[in-house]
Structure 1
Amino acid sequence: MNTDLYRVFYITAIEKNFSKAAKRLFITQPSVSHSIKQLENELGIQLFTRTSKGVLLTKEGEVLFDYLKQAFDLIDNAEQKIMEMKNLQRGSVTIGGSDSTCKHYLLPYVQSFQKLYPEIEIKLQHGSTPQILDKLEAGLIDIGIIHLPANQSNASITDFLSINSTFVVGKRFQHLTGEQLSLSDIQAYPIISFSEASSSRKFLNQLFLKQNLEIKPDIEIGSVELLIECAKIGMGIAFVTKELVLKELAEQQLFEVDIDEIIEKRKIGLATKKDTSLSLAADKFLSHLLA
């Protein structure tokens, strides 16, 4: 199918004049005549009848025009949508992360991005780091916010934030904050931690393994909010991300426990699917996160 011939026919049918069609198409009038004749020969029908003022469609030409109008309208609409996406007037971004990560680290970026590009739709999906990487591989999300390190050969990972981990207690165990404790000292008290599959728990396990100790939390929690509440009411010593309890520490609802072990900073990364191009909207949001 020669789409150029059909476009010449379509514009000529609208203008009802070869000269006007030639101007609109930025070609010569003989080129218009030649294209129409070529299309008529290929289809084996007459498309126009000449009049003193120009040309009129034949019955067969009217049928062809009706179908081409639908096709060219679809093309025009597609070009319009693409232009809107290019100008970030349309599009969507799907981001995956844990509830606490989204709440404390992602939402401020979402808010500032929406002020800049209010027409872009932001979608969020929940999951642990392994779940987020699975969703990324399946194409369900554009960007994943994950705890590092993460072994994933099909993802491109960029460092995003550094976070600090610490042990905290409520008023019941406030007396523990007056001295420096060892990890073995902490084992003598109830320990509150995230579940076994979480990145935070794995990090805690590694911290104790360095001292040849095994950690067995008495309370396993699925959300940071519940973990904080358990610590506040005195259920034990909680292992948390310090940045998530700054308010509670400042208000003395929680107290930091000093230990004789250096706790390395943890990193949060941004994951995208390797060898896959992001949409314009997703790429702009990723740049916004890294700015």
Structure 2
Amino acid sequence: MIGKLDLYKVFWTVGKCKSFSKAARELYLTQPAISQAIMQLENELDIRLFNRSPKGVSLTSEGQLLFEYVHSAINLIDVGEEKILEFKNLTAGELKVGVGDTISRHFLLPFLEIFHNEYPNIRIKIVNGTTLELVAHLKSGEIDIAICNFPLDDPTLELRPCIEIHDIFVCGEKYKPLLSKPIDLNELTKLPLIFLEHKSNSRKYVEDYMASKGIKISPEFELGSHDLLLEFAKINLGIACVTKEFSYEYLQKGVVNEIQLIEEIPKRSVGVCYLKSVPLSPASTRFVEIIENYIKK
């Protein structure tokens, strides 16, 4: 059975060609099939669309009115198909990435630069947030992919780890005596601690690990920025729990110092995640490929 859209395409072609036989050749159909399709559409609309004569066909007044709308609709479909082709060829479209400030600065920026240089016509939208906020954005469709801290326990998400990271404690000049020997996590809790806010996935990971050892923390400061953790430790306000890989600049300059632990906190990772149930757009697929290809080198 011919679908409604196909009927309108036949109608549009006949109206354009002003001939059933020419329309049949253009659509690779038989002339009886064309005639049947027009009759079906006229019956469904309960109106005559064409005047028939031995010289051919012409649109009735009602047919001419309908033809203008169908002509516009088919043109829009053609434009839509062209746009889809542009998206597939990455000559148009949008890449929507969710990421936190710290990961954006210390991990994501080089990949954004590579992608933008390769595909300058793709718009890039960055949405900032914590890991849990980014997961919510994924599920609402506000972003295509998220670059965030793992682990994540959510069966609806595809998780693709990219780099390993390590949680460490650092201090400023005042607490340098702590560097003389490895220290137990229990001893650290007796000192003023500086942690990220509760809603941070990084904070939760370290806090859960310490809780598994029977250690409860009560931070002196809870901050919303990784850079602030380092700055607070730098001016001796306490011992900050930071990500080693995102603190190299401070560590190399010696403005903060890593405290050696008797038992190191297990490593975790930063990676890409997206919904399993939603296919990635061509732009998102290519962006993930850029990241993973670089990581493999």
Structure 2 residue 59 is the aligned partner of structure 1 residue 57: yes
Partner residue of 1:237?
A: 239
Partner residue of 1:8?
A: 10
Cα distance change on mapping 1:11 and 1:164 into 2, 3 Å: same
CA distance in 2, matches of 1:57, 1:206: 75
Cα distance change on mapping 1:235 and 1:56 into 2, 3 Å: same
Matches within 5 A, 1:193-204: 193-204=195-206
CA contact (8 A) 1:8 1:36 kept: yes
Partner SS, residue 250 of structure 2: helix
CA distance in 2, matches of 1:34, 1:195: 70
Partner residue of 1:132?
A: 134
Partner SS, residue 115 of structure 2: helix
CA distance in 1, matches of 2:49, 2:276: 54
Q: CA deviation at 1:9?
A: 3.2
CA contact (8 A) 1:85 1:281 kept: yes
Choose 281-290 or 190-199, whichever is displaced more. 281-290
Partner residue of 1:164?
A: 166
2:132 partner letter: P
Partner residue of 2:125?
A: 123
1:138-195 Cα distance to aligned partner (Å, 9 max, x none): 3333222332222223323232321012221223333433433232343343221112
CA distance in 1, matches of 2:205, 2:32: 77
CA contact (8 A) 1:5 1:36 kept: yes
Choose 217-226 or 271-280, whichever is displaced more. 271-280
Partner residue of 2:226?
A: 224
Cα distance change on mapping 1:254 and 1:12 into 2, 3 Å: same
Choose 169-178 or 33-42, whichever is displaced more. 33-42
Cα distance change on mapping 1:15 and 1:166 into 2, 3 Å: same
Cα distance change on mapping 1:6 and 1:171 into 2, 3 Å: same
CA distance in 2, matches of 1:117, 1:145: 20
Cα distance change on mapping 1:168 and 1:75 into 2, 3 Å: same
Cα distance change on mapping 1:7 and 1:207 into 2, 3 Å: closer
1:45 partner letter: R
CA distance in 1, matches of 2:277, 2:200: 28
Partner SS, residue 229 of structure 2: helix
CA distance in 2, matches of 1:202, 1:44: 68
2:135 partner letter: L
Q: 1:102 aligns with which of 101, 104, 114?
A: 104
Q: For the aligned residues, what is the CA RMSD? A: 2.8
Partner SS, residue 240 of structure 1: strand
CA distance in 2, matches of 1:86, 1:246: 39
Cα distance change on mapping 1:3 and 1:236 into 2, 3 Å: closer
CA distance in 2, matches of 1:200, 1:37: 67
Cα distance change on mapping 1:187 and 1:31 into 2, 3 Å: closer
Q: CA deviation at 1:51?
A: 8.1
CA contact (8 A) 1:48 1:61 kept: no
Cα distance change on mapping 1:210 and 1:56 into 2, 3 Å: closer
Q: CA deviation at 1:50?
A: 4.9
CA distance in 2, matches of 1:77, 1:197: 45
Q: CA deviation at 1:34?
A: 6.2
Q: CA deviation at 1:22?
A: 4.2
Cα distance change on mapping 1:241 and 1:14 into 2, 3 Å: same
CA distance in 2, matches of 1:82, 1:61: 31
Structure 1: gaps spanning 5 or more residues: none
CA distance in 1, matches of 2:209, 2:5: 67
CA distance in 2, matches of 1:289, 1:125: 18
Choose 205-214 or 115-124, whichever is displaced more. 205-214
Partner SS, residue 75 of structure 2: helix
Choose 181-190 or 12-21, whichever is displaced more. 12-21
CA contact (8 A) 2:23 2:34 kept: yes
Structure 2: gaps spanning 5 or more residues: none
Partner residue of 1:186?
A: 188
Query: TM-score, normalising length from structure 2?
Result: 0.83
CA contact (8 A) 1:169 1:255 kept: yes
CA distance in 1, matches of 2:246, 2:104: 12
Structure 2 residue 57 is the aligned partner of structure 1 residue 47: no
2:48 partner letter: I
Cα distance change on mapping 1:117 and 1:172 into 2, 3 Å: same
Q: CA deviation at 1:114?
A: 1.8
Q: CA deviation at 1:47?
A: 1.3
